[in-house]
Structure 1
Amino acid sequence: MKMIYLTLCLLVGNTIVAQTNADLRITSKPKDVTLYLSGAQITATASGSLKEGMQSILFTGLPAGIDQNSVQVKSNTNVLIYSVDFQVNYLQPQDNKAYKLLEDSLKIYTAQTDRLQIQVLALTEEITMLQENRSIGGANSGVSVAELTKMAEFVRTRMNDTGLKKLETEDKVERINERIRLIQQQMNVLRSASATPSGEVLVQLSAPLAGPVNFELSYYTGNCGWSPLYDIRVKEVGAPASITAKANVFQNTGQDWKNVDITLCTGNPSIGNTQPSLYPWTLYLTDPNEIRRPMMKSKALRYEDAPESTGAPSAMDAAGSRSMAENVIVDNSTATNALFRINTPFTILSSGKENFVEIQKYSVPASYSYFSIPKLDRDAFLVAKISDWQNSELLPGDANVYFENNYIGKSWFNTQLTGDTLTLALGRDNQIKIERKLVKDFNEKNLTGSMKKLTRTFEITVKNTRKSEITIELEDQIPLSSNEAISIEVLERSNAVYDAETGKLSWKLKLKPGEHQKLTMSYSVRYPKKFIVSGL
């Protein structure tokens, strides 16, 4: 136990020495951020004045989640850099300016309450004194009515003024104490955040001459990323669709990004970039009676009998199973990944909160049509179709859809379609009136023979109350027979396209402003009298 304690002390001691014995401490400032879907490559700048000869520099206040193999340090002079080491500082966490401001405010408010409490105490003593000194004159001396009246008026006035002033002062104390309570709550939140360890980079170098030097520090860190988000706006039917691509950016690295140049990358360097390989897939015949014995043996597989892991995909006997290659961090900003550079410097605090950054706007021509299945829903749904859409740089993501300046809802914006047409649902349109009603339901019960015949006729009315011409697609259906004893005949379909296999009826109509059109669908069902047809 003593040996463990001694070792721990030595380790802590070495950490402290590494932190305190640096010849120069420098705080860097992030300048460029290449943000991936998960993680970021950050370039920071720093400056300091070096002495001549060998020395050590400590870059402080860095994210604790830095990949130590990604750290690079450059200078603008003939400085010779011998070593670059990343370390995590658990003893001296990052400075929190917000916490210090709250701490200063707490001191000011506490001093105010102390002064006010003294005032309350003085006023309380004054009230006590007035209450205890009510007798006027001696026990044997008389007091005139005028003196008594004057004294009573003085006590009443003084008690009233003192009591009101005490209440006002106590009210001030209560309000300030509430403010102090809120500040202390926020300080507790920031205190836990400030306890987060910080990263440091220790650099051993040699300077040929003394003087100022500029440094550039680059590294990869996690706890940050972005996801795509879109705003799709259609002003009116017939107008081009406006698509705004945005990035939902977050970072909780422990270091604020203030006025940095951001480049968004669709790649993900935290996943393996080694291409997989196929291995022979062999099938075997197995005796079911022999299954239990191999299974029992496999549980006793020794460690030294296990296959070695090479980091490359390895084949297994199970169909389609393989091990994953080891994750390697690679800045793979090539043709396989798209880069979006944000033109305006941006500030993103290390809070984990969402920040929305606009990437690009697109104005694309679109064709509009309505779709309805009156049997299920009498509303017409507006659909926008964007043809010749081939923007493989954008990733699929959620989209906020707006139509005629109204928020319609969320949709999924699939940019990775194999075709060249994007279909966007723009919601219901109450200006397209649709009605479906049963106009004939006739059951011929007195047919000769053993068969019955049921005839049904529906009428669908569509009216366009918009000020522009529309195209609308409607669907309905004819029932299908599941038995040879049931025969179905289509009597009327108003020029609908009829799919005999599915029973679907499809219409495509063009309606001018104010125009309405009626569609009729009718069918008959013949079946044996002794049966009842279910499903009608």
Structure 2
Amino acid sequence: MKKLIAFLGCFLIAGSAFSNDKDVIKSTLNEVTVYSQGAQMKHVASYSIKSGITEVSIEGVSANLDVQSLQVKATGNVVIIDTKYTLFYPQPEINPNQGLPVKIVKDMAAITDSLETLAFDLKELQDEIGIYQAAQRIIAMNGAVKGIGKVNDSLLLLKQTVEYYTTKMNEINKKLLALEKKVKEKTKLQQRLQTRYADLENYQNQNYNPKSYLVGTAGWTPLYDIRSDSQTGKISLTYKAQVYQSSGIDWDNVKLNISTNNPFVNKTKPELNAWYIDYYSFKQKNLELNEVAIRGARNIPQAAFNQGYFLNDKKVEDEPAMEADQFTTVVHQLIAAEFKIDLPYSIKSNNEKNLVLIKSSELNTSFKYYAVPKVDPGVYLVAQMTKLDELQLVPASANIFFDGSYIGETYIDPTSMDDTLNLSLGKDP
């Protein structure tokens, strides 16, 4: 499978040594913002930067990204010199510590060897301590030391026994103290190495956060549910999104944001240039003409005017001059809203629609009866909903439910509707 690799050149300001290492690290997708067309995907990758200039390859990003949208940032005392991307066929992985640079893996291996050596040293020290403790017990339990036997019959023998006991016990205690001190030192070293190993295993010193880019093979379509309850007289609107994506990467437990923005829509505001109509009297030998020359707006078709050419009466009748309103484009300036979803979502890269609940709101509603006897003798209950502009709605279909029963479908277009949305709930029995 093809994988997209972003090559990062980083310079560590505090360092002076030069490095030519090239390391490959993995990135993790942790946040996605889905637009009406396209999606922004953010990855995080961790790497231990060494002094000098280092080239780093970050893999695991989508092969469908928009190259112009690629952004890479770093934390810590580093400077990103350049970024680029390429596709490559990865070699079989032999490193069990996926996502860790080679240097860190080597350090972890060295620490593992040191921990094994320390474990043997501690075992040896504990064995020596056990031997000396056993010697203490033997001496203490000796009958001569306890005054049992012939030792009581000789003062000299008693004196020799006490001196031996004192000398031997002091000697053993000193050796035990020295051994326990070594055990304590090696135990502290063992704990430090274990902590260091854990830090290397979960290294988070340098985070390229965020590494983000746009993909065009994702998006969402809105869908609404309007529910009315005759008992309470309240109407609620459930705002839902049907999210789809085929970026080539499964979104696994990512932080999902839904945005009404569309980054692929042209953001350049339209310009309406002034155009002018002037009168010109042209005379030619043996021919008299009274004609109108039109010049000005560059958007007028070239066939309509050219320097040195003029329209005759018949031409003007066939192709009338363009009106000013034909050069006017109505642009709806909608403020984009972004809905941050608190729960993590998992969405497969299969282009299937996944329903995401955005929010549910109770609408400001009043009711009235509506009748057109000439067309229908029945009377209809109509709900009038106001202040829908506060919900940041986008044009979409809406399913209507009344007292839990589906009664039909309507279309909500906040760009064209009035301040009030009239919704017919059915005929009053």
Matching of residues 77-96 of structure 1 within 5 Å: 77-89=76-88, 91=89
Counting only pairs closer than 5 Å after superposition, residues 334-345 of structure 1 correspond to structure 2 as: 336-345=335-344
Shift of 1:421: 1.8
| Aligned counterparts of 1:397 and 1:241: Cα–Cα separation in 2 | 18
**Number of the residue aligned with 2:411:** 412
Which amino acid is the alignment partner of residue 423 of structure 1? N
Give 1:410 deviation, angstroms. Answer: 1.4
**CA–CA separation in structure 1 for the residues paired with 2:405 and 2:63:** 45
Match of 1:260 among 254, 259, 269: 254
RMSD in angstroms over aligned alpha carbons? 4.1
Preserved contact between residue 282 and residue 317 of structure 1 (Cα < 8 Å): no
Pairing partner for 2:242 from 241, 248, 254: 248
Aligned to 2:212: 218
Distance 1:388-1:295 versus aligned 2 partners, 3 A rule:
closer
> Hey, what does 1:62 align to over in structure 2?
61
Question: Cα 1:336–1:364, aligned 2, differ >3 Å: closer, same or farther?
Answer: closer
Q: What is the TM-score of this pair, normalised by structure 2? A: 0.53
Gaps of 5+ in 2: 8-19, 94-202, 280-289, 293-301, 307-320
Matches within 5 A, 1:363-512: 363-377=362-376, 379-391=378-390, 393-416=392-415, 419-426=418-425, 428-429=426-427, 432=429
284 and 254 in structure 1: CA distance in 2 versus 1, 3 angstrom threshold:
farther
Change (3 A) 1:392 1:231: closer
Note if 1:39 corresponds to 2:33.
Answer: no
State how far apart, in whole Å, the 1-side matches of 2:328 and 2:370 are.
47
**CA-to-aligned-CA distance 1:131-185 (integer Å, 9 cap, x gap):** xxxxxxxxxxxxxxxxxxxxxxxxxxxxxxxxxxxxxxxxxxxxxxxxxxxxxxx
- The whole-number CA distance in structure 2 between the counterparts of 1:78 and 1:389 is 48
Map of 1:239 onto structure 2: 233
Whole-Å separation in 1 of the counterparts to 2:362 and 2:221 = 22
- Contact 2:41–2:213 (Cα < 8 Å) also in 1: yes
C-alpha change, 1:284 and 1:349, in structure 2 (3 Å) is farther
CA distance in 1, matches of 2:276, 2:391: 37
Name the SS for the 1:398 alignment partner: strand
User: What's the counterpart of residue 281 of structure 1?
Assistant: 275
Per the alignment, in what secondary structure is the counterpart of residue 340 of structure 1? strand
Change in Cα spacing, 1:69 to 1:317, as seen in structure 2 (3 Å) is farther
Q: Is the 8 A contact 1:50 1:211 kept in 2?
A: no
In structure 2, the residue matched to 1:360 is 359
Measure, in 1, the Cα distance between the counterparts of 2:326 and 2:377. 49
Task: State the AA in 1 paired with 2:233.
Answer: A
Residues matched between the structures, number = 268
- Over 3 Å counting, the alpha-carbon distance change for 1:243 and 1:73 in structure 2 is same
Structure 1 residues 48, 406: CA separation in 2 closer, same or farther (over 3 Å shift)? same
Aligned residue number for residue 159 of structure 1: none
> In 1, are the aligned partners of 2:46 and 2:204 still within 8 Å (CA)?
no
| SS of 1:336 mapped into structure 2 | coil
Q: Deviations over 1:221-270 (max 9, x none)?
A: 21112222111000216611011111221111111212222222222221
Question: 1:296/1:411 Cα in 2 relative to 1: closer, same or farther (>3 Å)?
Answer: closer
Check conservation: 2:74, 2:206, Cα contact below 8 A. Answer: yes
Q: Distance in 2 between matches of 1:396 and 1:356?
A: 17
User: 2:86, 2:322 → 1: CA distance?
Assistant: 43
Task: Label 1:22 to 1:352 Cα distance change in 2 as closer, same or farther (>3 A).
Answer: farther
**Identical amino acids, percent of aligned pairs:** 32
Q: Deviations over 1:67-116 (max 9, x none)?
A: 22222222333233221002345x569x9xxxxxxxxxxxxxxxxxxxxx
Find the aligned partners of 2:267 and 2:21 in 1 and give their Cα distance.
Answer: 38
Q: Indicate the structure whose relative CO is greater, using CA pairs within 8 Å and at least 6 residues apart.
A: 2
Retained in 2: the 8 A contact 1:238–1:368? no
Separation in structure 2 between the aligned mates of residue 222 and residue 38 of structure 1, nearest angstrom: 7
Q: What letter matches 1:70 in structure 2?
A: S
